[in-house]
Every structure is written in structure tokens, then in C-alpha cells.
Amino acid sequence: FQELQTRQNSQYQGYGFVYFTGEDLTNGEQIYFGAWDVASRQGSRSLAIWESPDLKTWSAQRLVEVSPPTAGMTWAPEAVYDAKAGHYIVFWASNIFAASDTNHTGTSYARIMYANTTDFRTFTPAQVYIDTGSAVIDTDIIYDEATKTWHRFSKAVGNIVQEKSSSFFGTWTTVANGIGNAEIGQSEGPTCFLSNRYAGVYHLFVDDLSPRGYVPFETGNITSGVWTKSTNYALPTNPRHGTVFGITTAEMQNLSSL
């Protein structure tokens, strides 16, 4: 997983932030997508993929089916690179139904699935990565070089849960449960990233279920599971469910011309 570690070093002077802006507006009023049950039973089994050499010029979208026919959806995909194996590990959330339930009308819950790829065109058959017996979605995973520890953040049973492990496919232990609940109530869509400015500081954005969207938290000790709501910050308008990653000065300058 060396590539993921490298993207966290000091050469990154800025941040890239990719995010949703929520549902659409009409006459200034929020439009809410209400067909969540249908979307989680009869949703897409594919990843929507774009490619870019410079974060500025993007290819046309292509769809690659990664979830099995028993899956009801393919939500919130992310990827990390396994340098030893020479492939990417892509993971996402899917409701999985019985093979005999071809219309997906029975009961189910979201698991985190994964598949491997070297080119984001062909993928190994999907396998279960996280199955707690109840719904888990929006998993985000980061490696802390200082402690040689993996940390993953998920929405589970209405809470943001932080877990840690010495190995990506090893045993995970819970570090914190209900991150942000005391300050903002329930949230989802977590994204965690290492500060480019302050040594050892991590930021965690959680998407408040209210219309305000992402709220930032921070910690100087990621293994503690103690997160403090940030005070001095500026975010784009209405960011929700996204990913933050480090970018170089050259990448920042290239993007500034957009």
C-alpha cells in the first residue's frame, strides 16, 4: 500500500476536494430524492469511472459492472493501492439478496464489498469485506505512517465508527463510535485526510444529515479516537459525501486556471 502512504507526505501543499452538492433546487427550495428503497434494491451494479492525466482534462464516463446480480446497489466507491500485489483494491457498499430473490424484494442490509483491479477496466469477482450483520456504508480508509496503522471510518447503525488495524485484511478493533453525535447529531459520508500544514494532524469531514452538509473535525492523535469540531475553516458551498486528497504545488497551479 505504499502509493497511498506516499500521497500523505510533505510534497503535497494543497488539497483536492471532490464532493456532491446534494439534491437539486427549484425556486430556492430543496428537492429531496425519496426513492431510497428502490435505489438500494434495483440500483446500479456498476462503477462510473472517469480518468485524467492532470485532474483537469477528463475522459468520457464509462460504466463497469462490479457488483454481483444479488446486489441491490453499488454505493460510495473508494480505492487504495496495494504495491506488493500490484493492484488497486476498490470497495463500496451493496445490499446483498438471496440468489433466489431475483427481484430483490426480501430483507437485506448493506455490506462493504471489494474487488481488485490493475486498470479500472477489468475487476476480480466482488467479495465481502465488511459484514457486521447490520448496515454499513460510506467506508473511508486511511493509513497512518507514524504508527503503521490503518484506520477506517464508516456509517454503521446511524453512527460514524472509527476502527483500526495493523493490516488491511486483518482484525479491526473499534476506536470510536458516534463521532460528531454530540456536536451535530447523526451524520454519514466520512472522509479523513492528513493535514499538509500541521504535523500529525488529521481532519475528518462528516456529512450532517441536516441540509448544511459537511462539518469538519480534527485530531492530533488519530489513534485516540477523540475528534474536536474545527473552528477556523472555510468550505465550498454545500459540500456533501466527498473525498479530500493532497495535491502538489504544480497541480494547484494547473487547476487554478479553471
Determine whether 250 is exposed, middle or buried from the number of CB atoms within 10 Å of its CB (0-12, 13-18, 19+).
exposed
Q: What is the pLDDT of residues 207-218, one digit of tens each?
A: 998 778 999 999
Let me know the angle formed at the C-alpha of 132 by 84 and 137, rounded to the nearest 5 degrees: 75
Domain ranges of the chain: 2-255
| pLDDT confidence tier of residue 1, bands split at 50, 70 and 90 | very low
Whether the per-residue pLDDT at 205 is higher than 90: the answer is yes
Res 92 pLDDT > 90? yes
Cell (9 digits) for 38: 428502490
- Residue-wise pLDDT for 101-131, tens only, equals 999 999 999 999 999 999 999 999 999 999 9
| Confidence at residue 25, expressed as pLDDT on a 0 to 100 scale | 55
144 has pLDDT over 70: yes
Per DSSP, 36 falls in state H
CB 136 within 8 A of CB 92: no
Backbone angles phi, psi at 22, to 5 degrees: 90, -175
pLDDT value for 35: 79
Taking the CB of residue 56, how many other CB atoms lie within 10 A of it?
11
Find cell 497512518 and name the residue.
144
For residue 29, the model assigns a pLDDT of 58
At residue 24 the predicted structure's pLDDT band, cuts being 50, 70 and 90, is: low
Mean pLDDT value of segment 180-186: 89
CATH superfamily of the 2-255 domain: Glycosyl hydrolase domain; family 43 (2.115.10.20)
Beta-bridge partner residues of 228: 218
Confidence band for 55, pLDDT divided at 50, 70 and 90: very high
pLDDT tier, 13 (very low <50, low <70, confident <90, very high otherwise): confident
Q: Among 33-42, 117-126, 138-147, 219-228, which stretch is predicted with the lowest mean pLDDT?
A: 33-42
* Rounded Cα gap, residues 72 and 77, in angstroms: 14
pLDDT, the chain, mean: 91
- For the whole model, what pTM was predicted? 0.91
Other Cβ atoms less than 10 A from the Cβ of 201: the count is 14
Q: Which helix (H) or strand (E) holds 249?
A: helix 249-255
The reported pLDDT for the residue numbered 3 is 44
Which of 2-6, 26-30, 101-105, 243-247 is the least confident region? 2-6
With cut-offs at 50, 70 and 90, classify the pLDDT of residue 50: very high
Q: Is the pLDDT of residue 18 over 50?
A: yes
Mean pLDDT on 58-78: 98
Q: What is the pLDDT of residue 10?
A: 54
